[in-house]
Amino acid sequence: MAAFEVWLAAICTPLLSLIIWMRIKGLEYILINYRWILSCFVLMPLTVLYNVVFFVRNWIIFKLNSAPKLHDRRVADIQKQVKQWKEDGCKQPMCTSRPGWQTISPRVGLYKKTMRNIHVNLVDILEVDTKRRVMRVEPLVSMGQITAMLNPLGWTLPVLPELDDLTVGGLIMGVGIETSSHKYGLFQHTCLSYELVLADGSLVKCSKDENPDLFYTAPWSYGTLGLLVAAEIQIIPAKKYVKVDYRPAHTFEDAINTFKEEVNKKADKGVCYHDCQPD
């Protein structure tokens, strides 16, 4: 009981102080100068709770293998929305209804208020095929979801961006250059196919062999060619640890020569570089 009272006092005292100080100084002053209180005692607990609930939900859906069935129904609903937009005369441009708080950008998407919002609720990993070395995912699947799924299986993405909240759809349809590979290229270069709902409501699959013009123009198109509803991405084996060889280069020529030497090796390993300024 005593421990609970101490914990309760530790939580309530800063909040009560915040409320009293807010009455004196005003909300704007508190948000600017004491935002750490809001971050530590409100935003961080809510973030942990959200991540736990979302992780459990994703795990259950993947184990029950219900994602593919749900996917077909959700895509059909998206097609229905687009066809309805077309029947209404295409009076407004289309965009997804994804709210700004679900993105990693601080920008508020005011443009969505003047556009026809299409509800795209596609957040699941559909399939992991280790024989073909491919995984099929929906566009709102994040890098954190993919990592949590693939790492225990001993697999990973060839190009894995460093931010967990980045989504497959954002990296493909947006400018996904947060992480790149000298061996595999940018994120979209590891994708084998896309499935898109076009402006007429039709569902089209594209790859380098099927509708190649759409396949090569879809990346970085920001949804202007269609709404991405699924993507097939390469996966590669991954060990638990990575061996790193550190080779310092003291001149520009030395750095170029070292880089060329390592890149031209046929060994299955990557090359990265870091710019350090001398003391």
Structure confidence by residue, pLDDT tens digits, 123-141:
999 999 999 999 999 999 9
CA 169 from centre of chain: 7
Pairing of β 134-137 and β 125-129: antiparallel
d(CA 166, CA 140): 9
Could you tell me which residue, 131 or 239, shows the higher pLDDT? 131
Summarised one tens digit per residue, pLDDT across range 85-134 is 999 999 999 999 888 777 777 777 788 888 999 999 899 999 999 999 99
Question: Over the chain, what is the mean pLDDT?
Answer: 84
Summarised one tens digit per residue, pLDDT across range 30-43 is 677 777 877 888 88
Contact 78, 229 (CB under 8 A): yes
Q: What percent of the chain is modeled with pLDDT above 70?
A: 86
Summarised one tens digit per residue, pLDDT across range 218-236 is 999 999 999 999 999 999 9
Q: What is the mean predicted confidence (pLDDT) over 137-160?
A: 93
Token readout for 247 is 């080779």
Q: What is the mean predicted confidence (pLDDT) over 43-72?
A: 82
pLDDT, position 269: 62
First vs last C-alpha separation in the chain:
55
C-alpha pair distances (Å), 31 with each of 19, 39, 278? 12, 10, 39
Q: Which residue has the tokens 């129904």?
A: 73
pLDDT, position 258: 84
pLDDT, position 83: 96
pLDDT, position 226: 94
Nearest Cα neighbor of 220 from 171, 179, 161 is 171
Lowest-pLDDT range of 84-93, 146-155, 202-211, 246-255 = 246-255
d(CA 225, CA 199): 8
Most confident of 65-79, 178-192, 219-233, 238-252: 219-233
pLDDT, position 111: 83
Q: What is the mean predicted confidence (pLDDT) over 50-62?
A: 81
85: Cβ contacts below 8 Å, ≥ 6 apart: 92, 94, 116, 118
d(CA 191, CA 232): 6
pTM score: 0.76
Could you tell me which residue, 108 or 267, shows the higher pLDDT? 108
Token readout for 132 is 């073909």
Helix/strand/coil for 2: helix
The total of other beta-carbon atoms located within 10 Å of residue 228's CB is: 25
176: Cβ contacts below 8 Å, ≥ 6 apart: 161, 166, 170, 186, 187, 188, 219, 220
The most distant pair of C-alpha atoms in the chain lies apart, rounded to whole Å, by 68
Nearest Cα neighbor of 207 from 221, 197, 195 is 195
Could you tell me which residue, 153 or 34, shows the higher pLDDT? 153
Lowest-pLDDT range of 51-65, 128-142, 180-194, 217-231 = 51-65
